[in-house]
Amino acid sequence: MTSTRTATLRLGTRGSALALAQARIVAGALGGAGLPVEIVTITTKGDVRTDVPLSVIGGRGVFAAELEQALRVGEVDLAVHSAKDLPSTLAPDLALAAFLPREDVRDVLIARGGAPLVSLPMHAVLGTSSPRRACQIRALRPDIVLRDIRGNVDTRLRKLDEGQYDAIVLAAAGLRRLGLTERVTQWLESDIMLPAVGQGAIAVEVRAADAAMTAALAPLDDHATRVTVTAERAFLARLGAGCAAPSAAHARLERGMLHLEGLIGSESGAVIRAARTGREQDAAALGVAVAETLLASGGEELLRAAGTRVPAATTEAE
C-alpha cells in the first residue's frame, strides 16, 4: 500500500437507521478534522434474515463479520460498529482504532400501557431475544411471558405498536441516536438491568497494518470509553461468551479507578453478580478477575447450561 491516500476515505457500515446515524457521527468527526469520508453501506446476513434467530444465522459476530471482510479486501478503509455487536476477541489483522465517547449505557423499557416493569399486568408479553435481558427480567418478574423479537429498532417499535407485545426492552443509546427517547416508559438502572458489554459505545475498526488510518482516528478515541469497554470485553472473552449468552458487564472509570460489575444468569431467572475495583491500566486483568469470580461461584454451570463453552483459565489476560 502506498503512503499517500486517495482524497476520500471509505467508511463501511450496516444500513439500518441506527448504523447510519453512528456512521454519520464518525464521518462528521473525521470530516471536521479535514478528512472527507464516503459512507459505504454493507448489508449483512443478520440484517436480511430478520425472521431467523441470530443464533441460527451464525451466532456471535453475525453483524460484524461481513464488514470485517470488506475491510480486509480494501473495499472500505474503516468500519463502524456498535461495540456491543463485536465478538469479544478480534482477529490479529484488525484493530479497534477508536472508541467514541460512550452514550447512555442503560436499557429502557417501552411499554404500551406506560407501566414500569414492576407493575406490568400479570403474564404481560415482553419482546426480547437477548438472554441477558431475559434472565434479568425473569429474576424480577417470573410471571412475564418472554417472546422473541428481531429486527431494527424501528421494526421492534412497530411490532410493539401493532400489539404483538405489551412491552419491549431496548438500549437507550440507540433511541437517543435516533431521536426516539420520547418512547421510553422506564429507564432501567444497572441494579435492575446490567447493560451488555460495550453497550452505548461506537467502535471504529481498521486494518491493523494501516498506520495512516490508525493515526487519523487517534484524535477520536475517548480514553474512558476505551478503558471501560476493554475491561468489559476481557470479561466476555474469559467467559467465552458472546451476545447469545446470559451475561452482562458494566465498567465505570472514576477518579482514575476502574469499577467493574459482571453478571451471569440463566433462562430460569437465576442471576449472580460480582464487582471489583482496580487500576485503569489493569482493565483487562480486572475483566478476567470478575469473570473468574463468577465462574467459581456457579456461573460456569449457568453458562454451560446455556450452551457456552467456557475456555480453560490462562495466565494471560488475552
Ligand X SMILES: NCc1[nH]cc(CCC(=O)O)c1CC(=O)O
Q: Position 240: which residue type?
A: G
Q: Which stretch binds ligand X (CB under 6 A): 166-174, 180-188, 227-235, 265-273?
A: 166-174
The beta strands (E) that lie in the chain are given as 9-13, 37-41, 78-82, 94-99, 107-111, 125-127, 145-147, 167-171, 186-188, 202-207, 247-254, 257-265, 271-279
Based on CB atoms, which residue is closest to ligand X, 44 or 266?
Answer: 44
Q: Which helix (H) or strand (E) holds 29?
A: helix 17-32
170 binds ligand X (CB under 6 A): yes
In this chain, which of 12, 87, 131, 174 binds ligand X, going by CB under 6 A?
A: 174
200 binds ligand X (CB under 6 A): yes
Q: How far is the CB of 171 from ligand X (least distance, A)?
A: 4
Task: Name the pairing type of β-strands 9-13 and 247-254.
Answer: unpaired
Q: How far is the CB of 128 from ligand X (least distance, A)?
A: 9
Q: How far apart are CA 94 and CA 189, in angstroms?
A: 34
Based on CB atoms, which residue is closest to ligand X, 127 or 200?
Answer: 200
The CA-atom distances, in angstroms, between 318 and each of 81, 206, 224, 270 are 21, 20, 20, 29
Indicate which residue of 47, 51, 77, 85 is catalytic.
85
Based on CB atoms, which residue is closest to ligand X, 199 or 228?
Answer: 199
Q: How far is the CB of 153 from ligand X (least distance, A)?
A: 6
Q: Which stretch binds ligand X (CB under 6 A): 116-124, 169-177, 183-191, 288-296?
A: 169-177
- Please give the radius of gyration of the chain, using alpha carbons only, rounded to the nearest integer: 19
129 binds ligand X (CB under 6 A): no
82 binds ligand X (CB under 6 A): yes
Q: How far is the CB of 313 from ligand X (least distance, A)?
A: 29
46 binds ligand X (CB under 6 A): no
Q: Position 232: which residue type?
A: E
Q: How far apart are CA 290 and CA 229, in angstroms?
A: 14
Continuous H helices in 172-297: 172-177, 211-217, 223-239, 283-294
Distance of CA 96 to the CA centre of its chain: 14
84 binds ligand X (CB under 6 A): yes
173 binds ligand X (CB under 6 A): yes
Based on CB atoms, which residue is closest to ligand X, 66 or 85?
Answer: 85
Based on CB atoms, which residue is closest to ligand X, 84 or 273?
Answer: 84
Q: How far is the CB of 31 from ligand X (least distance, A)?
A: 22
229 binds ligand X (CB under 6 A): no
Based on CB atoms, which residue is closest to ligand X, 199 or 230?
Answer: 199
Per DSSP, 86 falls in state: S
Q: How far apart are CA 302 and CA 308, in angstroms?
A: 9
> Would you call 166 a catalytic residue per the annotation?
no
Site residues (vs ligand X, CB under 6 A): 82, 84-85, 153, 170-171, 173-174, 199-200
- Mind telling me the catalytic residues? 85
